[in-house]
Amino acid sequence: MIEAGKKWTPPAGWPVMTRDQVKAALCAPGMPFEMETAVIEGVPTRVWKNALPNLAVLAGHAKVAFGDREFVVYEDERVTYDAWHRAVASLAQALKECGIKKGDRVGLAMRNLPEWPVAFFAAAVTGAIVVPLNAWWTGEELVFGMADSGAAVLICDAERWDRIAPYKAEMPALQHVMVARSGGAAMAEPATPLENIIGEPKSYSNLPDLPLPDVAIAPDDAVTIFYTSGTTGKPKGALGSHRNLLTNGLSSAYSGAATVLRRGDSLPEPSIRASLLVIPMFHVTACSASMIPTIQAGHKIILLHKWDTVKAFEIIEREKVNATGGVPFIAWQLIEHPDREKYDLSSIDAISYGGAPSAPELVSKIHEIFGALPGNGWGMTETMATVTSHLAEDYLNRPESCGPAVAVSDLKIMSEDGTTELPIGEVGELWARGPQIVKGYWNRPDATAETFVDGWVRTGDLARVDDEGFCFIVDRAKDMIIRGGENIYSSEVENILYEHPAVTDAALVGIPHQTLGEEPAAVVHLAPGMTATEEELRHYVSERLAKFKVPVKIIFTQDTLPRNANGKILKRDLKALF
């Protein structure tokens, strides 16, 4: 543990081991992190030899190894691993009775609730493909995901069903809807209360101890469609496999073990840890990089109804939370809130995040104020989260980096045309490969061919890699704005602005924000003789898109927006206006 209030400087002799030495020690034959080669989509790929084959095996392992331990805590609801497994098996049986079979799609749309991991695994263990939908989306956006994936069943909470129900006619494949926490309200077909099937979380332990469905599931069978905002057009569904998700469990453990060896310590005995999960599970960061490693290790997660800093302090104190974070916004809130010193937060030893740019000063403040070790990483929906991991002393030593690739993964920096690998230190497009790279885009063969090349994913991010393999992102995918971990693609917001009768030119840019990383702002040119106010346009967008996509500021310009010779708007020039 680093002493709070002390500025960190590399101690003499640190690191005790190089990254290559760590890899040789942890990945040696017979070790837990031993690797082997598997052929994935026709490409020989380095994989974790000891990764479990599918999510059904993971669920069974958790029940046997950790049955009496608490898995999920939400307000006054506490669910053990055994109770969770009983609910998963019962809901899986119900899904099979609905006709769900291997390869069918099951939509999942709800806030972070104990029902979420039940629904996710119930669909997965039947061999179905789970479609976690962004709970912040509007009804139209949610229905797009349902219709595009062809989901036959939807498991949602009452708030999401209220948004989706008016559009039933636009989801011809939808046959069954299971609604959690409807408060006993009467619902028309095809909706039924989820509690009628598995009861409430407090009573999961009373469910029968059923076996999971007997379905042959290979590691590279599809299991998820996570929609990525991308940078252009409609969201694309990234088709993930069981292997993609299960790679993260061992990758997280490897990164933690590597940190210990770099420090010169012996690997500790496993212990039960508690984490406060505040990012939505419909993101790969929370689902793949948090929930899956939690289940694999038998740890506990505590959920919040919505982010509230004081509530988080209370939970950390009561539950002796060891780790939290998610996005930089959360870390800043914990640091800057005036009530922080009223609570015992001494159990916190790690604050990690990803999904949004972070200031180097945040890294130092985490350890100066909490005595905790900071953590960061890089990934994307197309990589099922973790590709690089950056923890503890390494992160303090290189606060501008997102870390090196985990042992089963590789990075390379390519020229803009994708034909030439660039030397160490040069900036180019970041490409990544490994067993966590998704299978491609759902029903988008052209986009798949553009983005996935011989096992590599073209990220669209501009980056450089140093001589020790640490990656530095210098710019992100073109026109992408990441607001507190939420992806906003510019063209979608711009297209809505263009629909307004007074707007003839519009561009969305990201402006810096200390806690959210950045926020969307727009520059607009109005048609001659037409008028519109900033508030009018913001309201116009808010009626059509999720609230986090609405520009926080709109500037009007008398001239059309600056463009290059190809007609592309020069957005970097526009940022100076703010």
Per-residue tokens: 67: 């049955």
Q: Does 131 lie in the same domain as 38?
A: no
Average pLDDT estimate for 561-573? 69
**Residue 29 falls inside a structural domain:** yes
pLDDT for the residue numbered 4? 47
pLDDT for the residue numbered 55? 98
Per-residue tokens: 374: 């900071």
Other CB atoms within a 10 A radius of the CB of residue 444 amount to: 18
Q: Does 314 lie in the same domain as 194?
A: no
Domain with 524 in it: what CATH number? 3.30.300.30
pLDDT for the residue numbered 233? 62
Q: Does 488 lie in the same domain as 459?
A: no
**Residue 13 falls inside a structural domain:** no
Kindly report, residue by residue over 412-449, the tens digit of the pLDDT.
999 988 999 999 999 889 999 999 999 999 999 999 99
Q: Does 552 lie in the same domain as 440?
A: no
| Cis preceding linkage at 15, omega within 30 | yes
Rounded Cα–Cα distance for residues 489 and 503 (Å): 19
pTM for this entry: 0.87
Q: Does 73 lie in the same domain as 27?
A: no
The answer to whether 128 touches 240, Cβ cutoff 8 Å, is no
**Residue 7 falls inside a structural domain:** no
Other CB atoms within a 10 A radius of the CB of residue 543 amount to: 10
Q: Does 189 lie in the same domain as 147?
A: yes
Q: Which of 12-21, 54-63, 558-567 has the lowest mean pLDDT?
A: 558-567
The answer to whether 248 touches 272, Cβ cutoff 8 Å, is no
Average pLDDT estimate for 64-78? 97
Read off φ and ψ for residue 522, nearest 5 degrees.
-125, 150
pLDDT-derived band at 461, boundaries 50, 70, 90: confident
Q: When comparing pLDDT for 416 and 68, which is higher?
A: 68
pLDDT-derived band at 363, boundaries 50, 70, 90: confident
Kindly report, residue by residue over 366-415, the tens digit of the pLDDT.
888 888 888 999 999 999 989 999 999 999 899 889 999 999 999 999 99
* Owning domain of residue 69: 55-217
pLDDT for the residue numbered 399? 87
**Residue 570 falls inside a structural domain:** yes
Average pLDDT estimate for 337-351? 91
Number of domains observed in the structure of the chain? 3
pLDDT for the residue numbered 566? 45
**Residue 222 falls inside a structural domain:** no
**Mean pLDDT of all residues belonging to the chain:** 91
**Residue 332 falls inside a structural domain:** yes
**Residue 362 falls inside a structural domain:** yes
Decide which of 217, 247, 269 is a domain's last residue: 217
Other CB atoms within a 10 A radius of the CB of residue 565 amount to: 5
Nearest residue to 381 via CA among 260, 487, 471, 501: 487
pLDDT for the residue numbered 22? 96
Beta strands in 392-484 (DSSP E): 403-404, 410-414, 428-433, 440-441, 452-453, 456-465, 470-475, 480-483
**Residue 91 falls inside a structural domain:** yes
pLDDT-derived band at 195, boundaries 50, 70, 90: very high
574-578: long-range contacts, CB 8 A cutoff, minimum separation 24:
574/507, 574/509, 574/523, 575/509, 575/510, 575/511, 577/523, 578/509, 578/511, 578/521, 578/553
Task: Give the list of residues 6+ apart from residue 1 with CB closer than 8 angstroms, or none.
Answer: 349, 371, 373
Helix (H) or strand (E) holding 198: helix 195-198
pLDDT for the residue numbered 307? 86
Q: Does 171 lie in the same domain as 125?
A: yes
pLDDT for the residue numbered 462? 83
Q: Does 489 lie in the same domain as 452?
A: no
Kindly report, residue by residue over 228-258, the tens digit of the pLDDT.
864 456 789 999 999 999 999 899 999 999 9
Kindly report, residue by residue over 149-191, the tens digit of the pLDDT.
999 999 999 999 999 999 999 999 999 999 999 987 777 788 9
**What distance, in Å, lies between the first and last C-alpha atoms of the chain?**
41
Q: What is the dihedral of CA 60, 63, 64, 69, to 10 degrees?
A: 160
Which residue type does 492 have? E
Q: Does 253 lie in the same domain as 156?
A: no
Q: Does 188 lie in the same domain as 312?
A: no
Domain with 200 in it: what CATH number? 3.40.50.980
Q: Does 365 lie in the same domain as 502?
A: no
Rounded Cα–Cα distance for residues 559 and 563 (Å): 12
Kindly report, residue by residue over 518-560, the tens digit of the pLDDT.
999 999 999 888 899 999 999 999 999 999 999 999 999 998 8
Q: Which of 103-117, 270-284, 357-371 has the lowest mean pLDDT?
A: 357-371
Q: Does 328 lie in the same domain as 368?
A: yes
Domain with 265 in it: what CATH number? 3.40.50.12780
pLDDT for the residue numbered 335? 85
